[in-house]
Amino acid sequence: MSVQNNRKPDFSIHDQFINRWSPRAFLDKEISEELLYSTLEAARWAPSSMNSQPWRFIIARTKEDRERFHSFILDGNRTWCEQAPVLILLISEKAAGAHTFDTGTAFGFLTLQALENGLATHPMGGFDKEKAREVLGIPNEYELHAVVALGYQGDKTTLTPTLQDREAPSPRRPLKESIFEGTFSIE
């Protein structure tokens, strides 16, 4: 499947932005430590307000750690994410003023480096935050954002028929629908 067939930018941009998408099919193949830490290293270099670097990444790459994560991931996501060799919980220090914005930026860097490393990412909001906090021992000073599946993209035939139908890069609304000059107004 060609990503470019499903996605056409309105203006010229680097191919990495078009080629990055969030598949659900993953190979049951271990990621080397070098590739994993290269992916996380890119996130470390994201900009942050006052250089606070509020993001933290809790990784699960052993069978035992992934099963611990599975205990708080909702069933709809568990049906596909159990194949991913690495799960990453993104959290941030609430005391840092722009912690959510900064952590989202770090995730963007992480996902683009993953693509560069031949890996795929799929962020999930479908998890029980309070159970994750309890299971992983996360203090209240940290906000939980998303669980990210990381791995090599697999064949969509490993997914349920419903998910197979959805296993394609999604389009985006035209740029002009997201930009307002001077003031905000919906026509």
Q: What is the average per-residue pLDDT within 120-131?
A: 98
Given a cut of 80, whether residue 106 has pLDDT beyond it is yes
- Confidence tier at 6 by pLDDT (50, 70, 90): confident
Given a cut of 90, whether residue 149 has pLDDT beyond it is yes
- The predicted structure's pLDDT at residue 120: 98
State which H helix or E strand residue 56 sits in: strand 55-60
Given a cut of 90, whether residue 181 has pLDDT beyond it is yes
Q: What is the average per-residue pLDDT within 136-151?
A: 98
List the domain boundaries for the chain: 31-155
Helices 99-116 & 33-44 angle (0-180, nearest 10): 140
Given a cut of 80, whether residue 1 has pLDDT beyond it is no
**Is the domain 31-155 a CATH 3.40.50.10330 member?**
no
Given a cut of 50, whether residue 167 has pLDDT beyond it is yes
- The predicted structure's pLDDT at residue 2: 57
For 94-151, the three-class secondary structure string (H helix, E strand, C coil) is CCCCCHHHHHHHHHHHHHHHHHHCCCEEEEECCECHHHHHHHHCCCCCEEEEEEEEEE
> Do residues 141 and 94 touch, judged by C-beta distance below 8 A?
yes
Which residues touch 127 (CB under 8 Å, ≥6 apart)?
72, 73, 74, 77, 147
Given a cut of 90, whether residue 4 has pLDDT beyond it is no
